[in-house]
């Protein structure tokens, strides 16, 4: 957790100079007052990928509730099966480039009765993956251009909300294999990238 706090601190501090140096970038609509880009391009569709990401590998829908608040919803495929997720984000500035904090929840459906075989011939065992609820807390950086290009980068932590989300059905994994299963399927660091396009709408 200390390493996570250090990473988030470095991320926010390294972006501070760039954020404060940028001009306020906004979009005018029909001669009205200038609006922040997220007040104009309120919706986005994106590809989401990463370790303990919101969707694993999948697609997300983003809606900006206000120029500095948004929600993300997604579905994809992960190590815990088909995965659904949602989160709330607060952006620290209405400018195109902004750091943010987010909190959310995602849920892997598991694999049911499907069994996985261990890849190690000297340590053979089988296991199934069950339902996998996670809470996710991240800090990140977002860039949304006036023309709609969206990029997000997240670091954080995903917390498994059950004692275990897999079951050994045959054999006994050694300590290294047990740690590997816990690393891949359990709580852990979030590293996530999102690329997409934002468009107008209420």
The domain locations on the chain are 2-18+42-196
**Could you tell me the pLDDT band of residue 5, with boundaries at 50, 70 and 90?**
low
Supply the pTM of this predicted model.
Answer: 0.80
Report the distance separating Cα 127 and Cα 184, nearest Å: 13
User: Between these two residues, 19 and 49, which has the higher pLDDT value?
Assistant: 49
- Is the pLDDT reported for residue 106 higher than 80? yes
- Is the pLDDT reported for residue 155 higher than 60? yes
Q: Quote the pLDDT of residue 189.
A: 96
Percent above pLDDT 90 for the chain = 64
Q: Is 184 helix (H, G, I), strand (E, B) or coil?
A: helix
Mean pLDDT of 124-147: 93
Q: In sequence order, what E strands does the chain have?
A: 26-27, 35-36, 43-51, 57-66, 69-78, 81-91, 97-108, 116-117, 125-129, 132-144, 149-160, 166-171, 188-199
- Is the pLDDT reported for residue 2 higher than 90? no
Q: Quote the pLDDT of residue 28.
A: 47
Q: Quote the pLDDT of residue 16.
A: 44
The domain 2-18+42-196 is classified under which CATH number: 3.40.50.2000, 3.50.50.60, 3.40.50.300, 2.40.160.20?
2.40.160.20
Q: Are 137 and 156 in contact (CB under 8 A)?
A: yes
Mean pLDDT of 122-140: 91
Q: What is the mean pLDDT of the chain?
A: 85
- Is the pLDDT reported for residue 49 higher than 70? yes
Beta-bridge mates of residue 75? 59, 84
């Amino acid at each position: 957790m200390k390493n996570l706090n250090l990473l988030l601190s470095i991320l926010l501090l390294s972006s501070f100079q760039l954020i404060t140096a940028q001009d306020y970038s906004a979009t005018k609509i029909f001669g009205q007052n200038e609006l922040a880009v997220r007040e104009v391009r309120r919706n986005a569709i994106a590809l989401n990928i990463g370790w303990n990401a919101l969707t694993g590998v999948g697609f997300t829908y983003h809606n900006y509730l206000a120029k500095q608040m948004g929600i993300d919803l997604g579905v994809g495929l992960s190590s815990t099966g088909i995965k659904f997720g949602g989160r709330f984000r607060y952006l620290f500035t209405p400018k195109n480039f902004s750091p943010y904090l987010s909190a959310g929840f995602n849920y892997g459906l598991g694999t049911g009765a499907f069994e996985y075989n261990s890849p190690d011939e000297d340590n053979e065992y089988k296991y199934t993956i069950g339902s996998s609820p996670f809470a996710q807390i991240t800090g990140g950086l977002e860039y949304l251009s006036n023309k709609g290009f969206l990029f997000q980068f997240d670091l954080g932590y995903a917390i498994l909300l059950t004692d275990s989300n897999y079951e050994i059905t045959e054999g006994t994994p050694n300590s290294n294999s047990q740690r590997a299963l816990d690393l891949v399927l359990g709580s852990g660091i979030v590293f996530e990238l999102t690329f997409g396009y934002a468009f107008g709408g209420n």
